[in-house]
């Protein structure tokens, strides 16, 4: 683990591939305990995920964290506390979302739009059958919230704006889609973030309002808390975590990250921790808390020393 000069006052943690193991939906006891200890010692915990909040909360509620714990969901478009208090939200304009429908069909994947609401219609898809072929487990877990609309453009007739678009397909398809979108007429109108699972040849390309990312959301939150970048630790494992790793003064990449990202981490001097199956999050948090205590002890020693020097 790299040695950081500043104390750690905020820790942002990704869920899938970071906090969760490779199989199963239960956070390990060690990770749960480390997060609870961080909150008990006054560190702000932030969950930063590509999931929408309703899909992430059932996983996180098992950890026993405070209702005031903050969750950044949909890759940075919505920020709420676990208890539901909204802090921040960004919407993809209806006209942009409607125009994207035709564009995204060109890439051979399956498109989903996410709306910041509750119940059926939170997720709108053009073909449930095609989506199941790509992400069957995700469909099974989210089926009560999915509404199929054909053509997908009709989903925007109500005038409601989504917080996120998503298209999924093979790694090659989504890399091509991202490149083409970012050099098309949509450049400047959207933000794209890609997640890859090479072992399954699956990639998810998220399409967000311009300027939205986990990193920008953390930056806005930190400003309200008067926390400096040097005091922020971010822990992630995939390409959609890069912005928050770049933003944080204390970036930590999981050992199970793609080889390309691990190489990038070495080049940029990011820390690399253990894998998600080895409780890399717990090891990282406990290390940060230990450094915090050492830093506080050193600061206290400096204050005592200064007071002695200043005695008449």
The boundaries of every CATH 3.40.50.1000 domain in the chain are: 10-89+212-302
**What is the per-residue burial (b if ≥16 Cβ within 10 Å, else e) of 221-255?**
bbeeeebeeebbbbbbbbbbbbbbbebbebbbbbe
Instruction: State yes or no: pLDDT of 71 exceeds 70.
Output: yes
Mean pLDDT of 196-219: 95
Largest CA distance in the chain: 82
Q: Are 167 and 109 in contact (CB under 8 A)?
A: yes
The boundaries of every CATH 3.30.1240.10 domain in the chain are: 94-208
Tell me the pLDDT band of 134, cut-offs 50, 70 and 90: confident
Tell me the pLDDT band of 308, cut-offs 50, 70 and 90: very low
92: left (phi over 0), alpha (psi -120 to 50) or beta: beta
Q: Kindly give, in sequence order, each residue whose CB lies less than 8 Å from that of residue 70, ignoring residues fewer than 6 positions away.
A: 44, 45, 46, 47, 79, 80, 81, 82, 87, 221
pLDDT of 82-124, one tens digit each? Answer: 999 999 999 999 999 999 999 999 988 889 999 999 899 999 9
The pLDDT, as a whole number, for residue 302 is 57
pTM value is: 0.93
Instruction: State yes or no: pLDDT of 304 exceeds 50.
Output: no
Quote the mean pLDDT of the chain.
93
Tell me the pLDDT band of 310, cut-offs 50, 70 and 90: low
Q: In CATH, what class is 94-208?
A: alpha beta
CA 117/CA 131 separation, integer angstroms: 21
The pLDDT, as a whole number, for residue 312 is 52
Looking at per-residue pLDDT, the higher value among 209 and 309 belongs to 209
Tell me the pLDDT band of 171, cut-offs 50, 70 and 90: very high
Instruction: Return the closest-CA partner of residue 201 out of 127, 290, 134.
Output: 134
Mean pLDDT of 243-252: 98
Q: Are 12 and 72 in contact (CB under 8 A)?
A: yes
Token pair for residue 233? 């630790």
CA 105/CA 172 separation, integer angstroms: 15
Q: In CATH, what class is 10-89+212-302?
A: alpha beta
Mean pLDDT of 36-51: 98
User: Hey, which residues does 195 pair with through a beta bridge?
Assistant: 204
């Amino acid at each position: 683990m790299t040695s950081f000069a500043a104390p750690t006052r905020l820790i942002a943690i990704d869920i899938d591939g970071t906090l969760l193991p490779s199989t199963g939906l239960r956070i390990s006891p060690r990770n749960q305990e480390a997060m609870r200890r961080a909150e008990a010692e006054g560190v702000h915990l932030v969950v930063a995920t590509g999931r929408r909040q309703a899909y992430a909360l059932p996983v996180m509620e098992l950890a026993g964290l405070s209702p005031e714990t903050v969750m950044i969901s949909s890759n940075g478009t919505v920020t709420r506390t676990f208890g539901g208090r909204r802090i921040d939200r960004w919407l993809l304009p209806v006209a942009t979302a409607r125009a994207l429908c035709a564009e995204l069909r060109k890439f051979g994947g399956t498109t989903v739009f996410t709306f910041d609401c509750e119940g059926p219609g939170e997720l709108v898809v053009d073909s449930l059958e095609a989506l199941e072929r790509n992400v069957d487990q995700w469909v099974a877990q989210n089926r009560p919230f999915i509404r199929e609309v054909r053509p997908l453009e009709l989903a925007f007739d109500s005038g409601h704006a989504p917080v996120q678009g998503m298209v999924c397909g093979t790694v090659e398809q989504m890399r091509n889609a991202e490149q083409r979108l970012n050099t098309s007429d949509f450049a400047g109108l959207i933000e794209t973030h890609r997640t890859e699972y090479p072992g399954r040849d699956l990639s998810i390309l998220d399409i967000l309002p311009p300027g939205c990312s986990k990193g920008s959301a953390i930056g806005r939150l930190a400003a309200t808390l008067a926390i400096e970048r040097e005091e922020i630790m971010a822990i992630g494992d995939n390409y959609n975590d890069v912005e928050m790793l770049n933003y944080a003064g204390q970036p930590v990449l999981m050992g199970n990250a793609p080889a390309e990202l691990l190489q990038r981490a070495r080049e940029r001097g990011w820390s690399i921790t253990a894998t998600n199956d080895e409780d890399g999050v717990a090891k990282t948090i406990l290390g940060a808390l230990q450094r915090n205590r050492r830093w506080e002890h050193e600061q206290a020693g400096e204050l005592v020393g200064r007071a002695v020097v200043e005695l008449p």
